[in-house]
A and B are shown apart, each in its own frame.
Chain A
């Protein structure tokens, strides 16, 4: 090994704590990059492969009923590669061990051969045998939650009659990677499942022999989605077509899209912050190291080493730090990435989901980190390496300090001289001070930018479950019923109050923008279900016009007074013009509301309702469920309490894991910045501190010099960090928001308090570690030598 390399390794060993602190910040950068991009890649690539291998369709449409030969007509549309007609029906299921009824989606399997599109991936067991009307394959997540294995039984109400179904296998489908019951806001693991059954069985049960009520289409490469959509709509219109839609609006696919957007947001914000801080720390530490080794640099050059050789020596030093940081980051990233993948696998059903092993990702993460380190080193190295050896061997000119307020200012602050030392030292190295403040501010910002989402989640829960949808349960009929059905519900045991609701699927359009949404009709004075405006004041549904959720209104670019076009997906499919008469806040999905009477009038319906929101006497819940199971024709019930619990669990698991990781990483930044800052400050002022000890200052008084400096930096960082954190939260709201979910930007004061507390604690910890070095200052050695 060459002498310079031995020097390098000894230098690393001597400065191990500072090196480790920097390496940890780098590791955080590498890890966030690997976690973010790796998870993104895993999900994205796995999904693409899955879609490809299992022939996931490009276009979907529901209809009332159409004869099978119509599929040939669809197949003949220009741009269509393949078409699949299926029967899909929602049905109630009675499951042992579950008091309330569960809901299932029954999907037909072709009787001979494989399904042409949206092919199943059979995890275990076998497909139902042709002609066995009571066999079904069940979706994996539902099976896991309910403990189904091939051979298990469940009872399903098919078109009014209860059937005992035998599970023959457990399967996954690219169509239901993220499976959610219609009308729900969250996947409901144990209460919603997909059952695939032989077509003959479903056709017989629902009187759909030789017919289908759902269609999936695969496009030729390069085919125009809007053109095919329009053509399919034309073909299906006479058969009660409910409007074809592409993958972007297919629930499962859309949820994955929104997840991918979030991951992309995370990996574009966090890693740069960590790498920036790491570059700053490298710069700060190396500048000091080189200042201390100035004479050695002169000596090396006098011995005949070139400037480049000297520069390379220090670049190698930071590259070694980067290598340590990258290695730690790989480990951390792979570990957390694998953990996150396991978590994802609980919500998203993939045949296989493994964390990205793409070597390019790891090479790029390492390369970027190396680049950040070297960039951080450039200034420090270039200043010293090109000094003429004779100059380098002389001690540097003493630092020139200035009076903070000028020597002759009128006001002389009667501050102790130690405070003068602190302020002047901080001001003497303005860039380092600014860097330290910004580094700490980033740590605060990362905390604010992650902790706030807990408050936001609680706000969302409160908003949805306590302020707007205050019903205990919603009963959805399997089709519209006359208003008197409400009385039927009112008479059910345990029902304290029932409010009517009518939901109509429509395509809403303004200009070129159109979306498929459900318009909900409520009675004007509904007390269980309320609408709120931006300032949380209840909005009474006006007797005419449509009230839009803010997300939808923004999407369509309309405001109250504007007109939108509304086309029902069922029935006459005639377009109506409706005036927007109000806006309400909405966080989940795209929403539109009308007063029940106005809704019915608009669509020329007789007074119909599609369900009811009910308040329940919880002590009589069991009776109610029994009654509902006994009269399956009444419809599906979804319980708010269960939804709330699931919502909390889902959000909490995702959030807390992510926040836990981020809090740790912010702590690493705060610790790394303060530790290096303090060590360098101590290295520069060690001599002065020893002098003060000689002059009779106690240890704690001398320590105050350093602690005060850190305190100033930490304090200055707080408001900047709060501001940056708020901006981060805003950016998150913007990048995370999708048509499915909007985060309310609610940052309460305690978010700032917690964030600052974490950073201050990390700063204090590193300051106390450095303080021990002050106690060990060798007064005599310091005073006997010239710096």
Chain B
């Protein structure tokens, strides 16, 4: 059996930066601090590891990652392709199960949860936004959001969610009638309409041009500010780092570094 250890190849070039200590320290810059800093973190992982088996090949996608995020944080996760950031997001979002290690949402151990418990976790606590929107093409913007509000516990109204992302005027359009940026904002509205505790975004601007991407980022920061939703945004677009409380750098399946922004930039100040 061949085992590919991505980490070993890059360890020296990246130096010996211990991520776990940094991860646990909340950003202390006053202006950039998250609105609330809970004593117990909202999300926490310990030695979270994922190995993919493809035939005879094992790929270590995530290598014992320790991480925690408090309520209301807006974190940007940066890293090259294959650095493990999507795997990490899928594990904390309850879309996948780790090979070893633990992930906690408040006092719920996600790594011990059953398939149906993970579904409930996603249903009640997590909102997802993906690069390719993944809207249901046969439902209008409003109906796509309703899809979620119909099954959530204490959702906002679909119209309210769409207004929050600036799409009130276009809510009876089908996805095929909307631009890419608009579709992504519908996806955001759909993700936040349930008032999730955790908003996980995987390359939300990956398929968008700069101007449209900024509009989407504005929607995300607005939701974070107004609803206090803990938000993790994956990107390999370095330009986005400025809008986060913290920037988590992934490399080779590990967290290479965590930087706290002393001053957050508004999304409108960004371009690429």
Contact = CB atoms under 8 A, between A and B. Distances in A.
Interface of A: 397-401, 403, 407, 416-418, 420-421, 424-425, 428, 687-688, 690-699, 701, 779-780, 783-787
Given A399-B176, A407-B172, A698-B116, A691 B122 contact: no
A403 B142 CA distance: 12
B132 A698 contact: no
Contacts of A416: 150
Most buried by A among B130, B134, B148: B134
Q: 3 tightest CB-CB pairs across the interface, nearest first?
A: A696-B123, A424-B138, A696-B122
Contacts of A418: 147
B95 A780 contact: yes
Nearest to A425: B138
Interface in B71-91: 86, 90
Interface in B5-51: none
A636 B121 CA distance: 87
B134 A407 contact: no
B140 A688 contact: no
Contacts of A785: 132
B263 interface: no
Contact of A398 (B116, B148, B175): B175
B269 to A, nearest CB: 30
Nearest to A697: B151
B116 A421 contact: no
Contacts of B140: 403, 407
B90 to A, nearest CB: 6
B102 interface: no
28 contacts: A399-B138, A399-B176, A401-B137, A401-B139, A401-B174, A401-B176, A417-B136, A417-B144, A417-B146, A417-B150, A418-B147, A420-B139, A420-B143, A421-B138, A688-B134, A688-B137, A690-B134, A694-B134, A696-B120, A696-B121, A696-B126, A697-B151, A698-B116, A699-B119, A701-B151, A780-B95, A780-B96, A786-B132
A695 B147 contact: yes
Nearest to B191: A695
B116 A695 contact: no
Contacts of B174: 400-401
A698 B172 contact: no
B254 interface: no
A401 B178 CA distance: 13
B124 interface: yes
Contacts of A417: 136, 139, 143-144, 146-147, 150
Contacts of A786: 132
Contact of B128 (A407, A421, A695, A698): A695
A399 B139 CA distance: 11
B190 interface: yes
Given A401-B176, A695-B190, A780-B96, A428 B138 contact: yes
A399 to B, nearest CB: 6
Contacts of B95: 694, 779-780
Interface residues of B, number: 38
Contact of B122 (A400, A695, A783): A695
A410 to B, nearest CB: 15
Nearest to A690: B134
Contacts of A699: 119
A697 B136 contact: no
Contacts of A397: 176
Most buried by B among A428, A784, A787: A784
Nearest to B86: A784
Contacts of A398: 137, 175-176
Nearest to A399: B137
A606 B172 CA distance: 95
A416 B152 CA distance: 13
B136 A698 contact: no
Contacts of A787: 132
A67 to B, nearest CB: 92
A738 to B, nearest CB: 55
B136 A691 contact: yes
A780 B90 contact: yes
Contacts of B119: 693, 696-699
Contact of A687 (B86, B96, B134): B134
A784 B86 CA distance: 10
A688 B120 CA distance: 19
Most buried by B among A687, A701, A783: A783
Contacts of B124: 696
Interface in B114-166: 116, 119-124, 126, 128, 130-132, 134-140, 143-144, 146-148, 150-152
A361 to B, nearest CB: 48
B118 to A, nearest CB: 9
Contacts of A698: 116, 119
A692 B123 contact: no
B183 to A, nearest CB: 10
Most buried by A among B86, B124, B136, B174: B136
A721 to B, nearest CB: 28
Interface in B211-239: none
Given A694-B128, A697-B119, A421 B136 contact: yes
